[in-house]
Chain A
């Protein structure tokens, strides 16, 4: 009986109570044990009851009786949206995977290009184009360097019939030269004739097919 009491562990207490039973401990032990047993039994009973109830419940019927509309009306969507972390969701979205799954051809097939073009105001677009700035950025030398001039020149010569132009030009130049030469010869003739007329002190000449004699005066029509 002089032994020191062990740390307050229940086991030690029960062992101590068993070795040195006291009337209080004995009196409390039995109720406790009884409660424990009852509790365990109740839990088991409840589990069995709940399981049986769940097995008998027709969930489909329950769901059918639920008025979804009324439920939805009571749902405050704004509060739900406020609680949704859009940035977090967006960070988790793999855009590349989404883009890979998009069938661009099907999307393009559904686009009515004609209707899109009809809605485009070409005049307004053209008005906004600064032609000078566009022209300034054009590298004319590079453009010309890319042009194959030989076949282009041959095609131009074929279309414009350069030979005919040369012939017409040459003929025109020849005719103009001859006309000028003839005119100068005629002027020289008049000059010589005038000198001769003055030396002979006579006025004018007759027509080439006329008779000899005084012909029409110079300046007068025949």
Chain B
């Protein structure tokens, strides 16, 4: 990232989030999902230890099962984040919030649809710079927006 002349004023809070911020947020979410998956595997190994006894072994499921389980975890994670609080862990770290165009939170249905679309077509994020509203392909389908909205603590 060059520290050269950056034209334009900085976006005010509530302004649309750009490609870089959203990409980093998704990266963080991917790490979180991987952590959840690892915890699930460790939990499975612990359960098997309790049932079948030692030795402790981490389950090694087939690839398709891993893919399906990981996808399911990701969809559920994204749906819960966007549908309940409007942000996932990655959004929280980058100070982003996912809402409808009116500013209201997405409902569970729209959140689920958005999550599935993000998982199936992650390259839709690349549309953000080209859109005037800085919307990704998923945002265009679900009619959602992602804005900068870092939580303020203790400030009026």
Chain A interface (Cβ within 8 Å of chain B)? 175, 178-179, 181-182, 184-196, 200, 202, 204-210, 212-213, 215, 218-219, 222
Contact = CB atoms under 8 A, between A and B. Distances in A.
Given A187-B1, A212-B133, 15 more contacts: A175-B153, A178-B95, A181-B93, A182-B150, A184-B1, A185-B20, A189-B20, A190-B18, A192-B20, A193-B18, A205-B132, A208-B101, A208-B133, A213-B132, A218-B9
A205 B12 CA distance: 13
A190 B8 CA distance: 8
B37 interface: no
B94 A206 contact: no
Contacts of B12: 222
A189 to B, nearest CB: 2
Interface of B: 1-2, 6-12, 14-21, 24, 93-95, 101-103, 129-130, 132-134, 145, 147-148, 150, 153
A208 B1 contact: no
Nearest to B4: A191
A194 B7 CA distance: 7
A193 B101 contact: no
B145 A196 contact: no
Nearest to A222: B12
A212 B93 CA distance: 29
B6 A191 contact: yes
Contacts of A189: 11, 17-21
A186 B10 contact: yes
A192 B24 CA distance: 14
A171 to B, nearest CB: 9
A179 B9 CA distance: 18
A185 B6 CA distance: 13
A205 B19 CA distance: 14
Contacts of A200: 130
Contact of B6 (A178, A190, A219, A222): A190
Contacts of B150: 179, 182
B24 A196 contact: no
Contacts of A212: 132-133
Nearest to A187: B6
Among A182, A194, A212, A219, residue most surrounded by chain B Cβ atoms (within 10 Å): A182
Contacts of A194: 6-8
Nearest to B129: A196
B1 to A, nearest CB: 6
A211 to B, nearest CB: 9
Contacts of A178: 93, 95
Taking each of B12, B94, B101, B129, which has the highest tally of chain A beta carbons within 10 Å of its own beta carbon? B129
A218 B94 contact: no
Given A194-B8, A209-B102, A209-B103, A186 B132 contact: no
